[in-house]
């Protein structure tokens, strides 16, 4: 029960921040918001404001802001369909943007108090590829396989991508040493202890530095956004099994496991695990909502961009139908991944 409560709090905060992004732009633009909902499905309870009904619904895996005139032509000066197109574009974008902002704020706090890995090498392991190639402590990694590197999260990500795509091919690493740049070609080595392909380096840790923590949180969030996009691409290309997609039950279980593992050590560790998962879920929600799938923010963005370029709106009735079909498909997907979550809990590993 405690795990469920923690998970619901995490999901509610992430969704609330997302929907608040849409909501605040509507309000600042003068658009009437008919409903601000957390979750989908049957209404659990609601509060009626001056213009807006604030509701909580049964399935806390999404949410929505329902402005007047969102999917139809409404003859009202404060209807969304009568707002300038750039305001509607901003309204759609602000939901995912607020998710990224939440992730940055959380990661900044964790980085400041706990510390974070910089892109400066603190230690190289003897008999591992990086040390053998000539990389030494104090070297600062600036590029990996042609990708700019600013924080350790990017080092981990680009190494993982290289291992997945290129395996035994050398990894191109550019480092900065004494004001000069040097390029190394390193083939990752399989480590039986971690069961991963490594090059044998560890980062210098920084903490209690506000500016560095902000710097880290921005680039670490950027790295996570790229990771999420990469994961979606792998899934769509069939390189990742659909059974690995996590639904609401799986998310609740994961949050609960992380909380339990942390709280067994102490309260702070448990809280840190929860916050870390919260920012990860927030980034994923922001990225996924930008996918141009009907009923998601990305789909509405496509229609608004079409209007901005064509100079006229897409047919409102057809757009509403497309979003309705998309919503039904999303509900079907929700049922499938929930079933998959339950199956994985009952029969793990099958």
Task: Give the separation between CA 259 and CA 269, rounded to whole angstroms.
Answer: 8
Say if residues 115 and 206 touch (Cβ distance below 8 Å).
yes
Q: Are 309 and 217 in contact (CB under 8 A)?
A: no
Residue 313 in contact with residue 71, Cβ under 8 Å?
A: no
36 class by beta-carbon count within 10 Å (0-12 exposed, 13-18 middle, 19+ buried) = buried
The total of other beta-carbon atoms located within 10 Å of residue 161's CB is: 17
Strand boundaries in 18-67, DSSP class E: 33-48, 53-67
Whole-number Å distance between alpha carbons of 61 and 82: 30
Each residue of 327-336: b (16+ CB within 10 Å) or e?
beebeeebee
- Six-digit token pair at 148? 């700019």
Beta bridge partners of 48: 53
Which distant-in-sequence residues (6+ apart) come within 8 Å of 99 by Cβ?
A: 14, 17, 18, 21, 282, 283, 285, 286, 289
The DSSP code for 127 is T
Residues with catalytic annotation? Answer: 19
């Amino acid at each position: 029960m405690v795990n469920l409560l923690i998970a619901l709090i995490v999901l509610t905060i992430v969704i609330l921040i997302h929907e608040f992004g849409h909501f605040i732009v509507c309000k600042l633009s003068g658009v009437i918001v008919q409903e601000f909902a957390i979750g989908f499905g049957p209404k659990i309870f609601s509060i009626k404001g001056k213009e807006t009904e604030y509701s909580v619904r049964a399935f806390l895996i999404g949410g929505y802001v329902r402005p007047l005139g969102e999917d139809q032509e409404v003859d009202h000066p404060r209807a969304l369909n009568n707002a300038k197109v750039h305001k509607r574009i901003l309204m759609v974008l602000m939901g995912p943007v607020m998710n990224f902002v939440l992730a940055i704020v959380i990661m900044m706090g964790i980085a400041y108090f706990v510390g974070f890995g910089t892109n400066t090498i603190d230690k190289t392991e003897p008999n591992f590829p990086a040390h053998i190639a000539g990389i030494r402590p104090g070297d600062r990694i600036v590029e990996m396989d042609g990708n700019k590197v600013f924080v350790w999260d990017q080092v981990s990500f680009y190494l993982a991508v290289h291992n997945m795509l290129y395996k035994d091919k050398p990894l191109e690493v550019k480092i900065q040493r004494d004001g000069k740049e040097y390029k190394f070609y390193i083939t990752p080595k399989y480590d039986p202890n971690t069961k991963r392909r490594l090059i044998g380096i560890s980062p210098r840790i920084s903490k209690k530095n506000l500016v560095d923590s902000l710097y880290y949180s921005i680039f670490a969030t950027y790295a996570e956004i790229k990771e999420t996009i990469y994961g979606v691409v792998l899934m769509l290309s069939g390189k990742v099994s659909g059974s690995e997609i996590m639904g609401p039950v799986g998310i609740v279980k994961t949050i609960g496991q992380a909380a339990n593992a942390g709280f067994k050590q102490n309260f702070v560790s448990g809280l840190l695990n929860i916050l870390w998962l919260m920012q990860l879920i927030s980034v994923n929600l922001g990225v996924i909502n930008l996918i141009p799938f009907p009923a998601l923010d990305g789909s509405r963005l496509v229609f608004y961009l079409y209007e901005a370029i064509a100079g006229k709106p897409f047919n409102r009735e057809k757009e509403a139908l497309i979003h309705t079909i998309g919503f039904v498909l999303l509900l079907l997907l929700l049922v499938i991944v929930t079933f998959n979550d339950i199956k994985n809990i009952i029969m793990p590993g099958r």
